[in-house]
Amino acid sequence: MKKKTLVSLLGLSAASVFVLGACGSSKSGDSAKTDKDGKETITFINHKTDWEGNGKWDEYMKEFNEKYPDIKVEIQTVTDYQGQIKTRMNSDEYGDLLMLPGDLQPQEYSTFFEPLGDKEELAKTYMGLNDRSFEGVSYGIPTQMNATGMVVNMKVFKDAGITEFPKTTEDFVAALKTIKDKNPDVTPLYTNYAAGWTLSNWDFVRPGASGDKDFTNKMTSDKAPFEDGKVMNEIYKTLYDVSKEGLIEADPTTTDWEQSKADMAAGKIGVMVLGSWAVPQIQEINPDAADDITFQTFPMTAADGKQYMAVGGDYNLAINVHSEHKEAARKLLDWLINESDYAVDNGGLPAVIGGEYPTSLKSSQEAGVELIEENPAPAGKESLFSDINNQSELGVGSTDAEKQRIIDAATGNTNESFEDIMKDFNQRWADAISTVSE
């Protein structure tokens, strides 16, 4: 298969769940080499900008070198990881080990990444392999498993007289209204509209909201998944309602991701729809209020009367198919996933089966909320959702534009109604199914 430019390969991958970014800087030059001491040097490109200035990667690499003293790791932390790494992937020079971008179509994995093993065999050890596997071969392993739901400052709720997190969308909107009434200086729900990528979390909650492990697979044959009464409609209607009621930022177009974390830590924000990975980032800003920051499931109850929380892989570690140091890169990959504290330190579940729940999820576990990981697509249909998603240009789970459109309509920046938007979504989805299936 001839290598193509990445621009021609990118689709809107359906299952690119829970991949999350931040902001920072990048260094130039990523070719692997051997130094004068004979140490093998590899480059690890990652998105962890929150670790760039705190010495965390230095700590990790020091520990890695205790086991592998002959491998030197050059860490490159990249701003706008998704965008920048895709540009670099138009050449062969995109490091040795890297985080696999979330918006590649599955059939393109082998063009860029080294096979890591048989998926069925790896699945005996790891969770979260569905997203980055194709035709029975895995090209990535999750650094951690994230739950997607709501990061909550429970003190904000308790100060408003709300002692338990709501279990229905109606009660949730009512609770945010109460918060606003009791404390007008608090933003009940912060959308992070301007950051964009954060809005994809509203899509990622769908398995938990439905309680259906095959929810995404069923969407590939449902020509009206956004109609009134269905899960996707209710999720988006919640976003619309909180925006219309003025329960979000005063000016969503000027939101600030880094500032939002500080504001939540300070009790100025009640809720953000994010992954569990965000909890430690917020807690470390204000350690004195760390216990106030909890993680809750999206406020919907499944048809069986239970509440579920979606879990899926964070960025997957992958090896550049062009790397000259694949063995060394694989050693770092395995060490990070199997032996390091990466998942725990980032508020996630270990990808290794049987790992311990992070503290942030234990309250949900005690409340009876069940974790749910979606089933893989049937054989031969691994890329079907992403193909439909790409054709429809709705960007479910991968782009922010349509979620911004919902907020714009709700806040009066456009004249569209919610019903009109959902009608458009259904039409585009139905047309995409017909086109892809032809």
| 64: confidence class by pLDDT, cuts 50, 70, 90 | very high
More confident site: 298 or 10: 298
- Work out the average pLDDT over 111-134: 93
Q: pLDDT: is 81 or 358 the higher one? A: 81
* Banded model confidence at residue 38, pLDDT cuts 50, 70, 90: confident
Q: Do 308 and 302 meet the contact criterion of CB atoms below 8 Å apart?
A: yes
Beta partners for 316? 100, 142
Q: How confident is the model at residue 364 (pLDDT cuts 50, 70, 90)?
A: confident
Sheet of 137-138, strands arranged across = 117-118, 137-138, 133-134
- The structure tokens 């902001």 sit at 23
Mean pLDDT computed over 49-58: 87
DSSP 27-56: -S----EE-TTS-EEEEEEE--GGGTTTTH
Rounded to whole angstroms, how far apart are CA atoms 312 and 394?
21
Query: Each residue of 243-279: pLDDT tens digit?
Result: 999 999 999 999 999 999 999 999 999 999 999 989 9
The domain 6-145+315-354: what is its CATH number? 3.40.190.10
Give the whole-angstrom CA distance, residue 357 versus residue 30.
35
Rounded mean pLDDT of 136-153?
94
**Is the CB of residue 340 less than 8 Å from the CB of residue 61?**
no
Average pLDDT, stretch 354-376? 82
Report pLDDT for 383.
87
DSSP character at residue 239: H
How many H-runs (helices) and E-runs (strands) does the chain carry? 19, 15
Q: How confident is the model at residue 62, as a pLDDT?
A: 97
- Enter the pTM of the model: 0.77
Task: Provide the pLDDT for residue 399.
Answer: 78
The highest-confidence range among 125-139, 229-243, 353-367, 385-399, by mean pLDDT, is: 229-243
| Residue 53: alpha-carbon gap to chain centroid | 23
Mean pLDDT for the stretch of residues 399-411:
95
**Of 32-41, 153-162, 326-335, minimum mean pLDDT range:** 32-41
User: Which pLDDT band holds residue 405 (cuts at 50, 70, 90)?
Assistant: very high
Phi, psi of 99 (to 5 degrees): -85, 125
Quote the tokens at residue 224.
Answer: 């009206």
**Mean pLDDT, residues 399-403 taken together:** 91
* Radius of gyration (C-alpha) of the chain in whole angstroms: 21
Choose among 112, 157, 109: nearest CA to 137. Answer: 109
Is residue 346 very low, low, confident or very high in pLDDT (cuts 50, 70, 90)? confident
Query: pLDDT tens-digit profile of 269-321?
Result: 999 999 998 999 999 999 999 999 999 999 999 999 999 998 888 899 999 99
Residue 234: partners with Cβ closer than 8 Å, 6 or more residues away: 169, 209, 300
- C-alpha to C-alpha distance for 28 and 25, rounded to whole angstroms: 10
Summary mean pLDDT of the chain: 89
pLDDT of residue 36: 60
Percent of the chain with pLDDT over 90: 72
| CA-wise closest residue to 111 among 19, 7, 9, 32 | 9
Segment 25-29 mean pLDDT? 36
- Is residue 426 scored above 80 in pLDDT? yes
* Cα dihedral value 63, 66, 70, 73, nearest 10: 0
Q: What is the pLDDT of residue 33?
A: 57
Asked whether residue 118 carries a pLDDT value surpassing 90, the answer given is yes
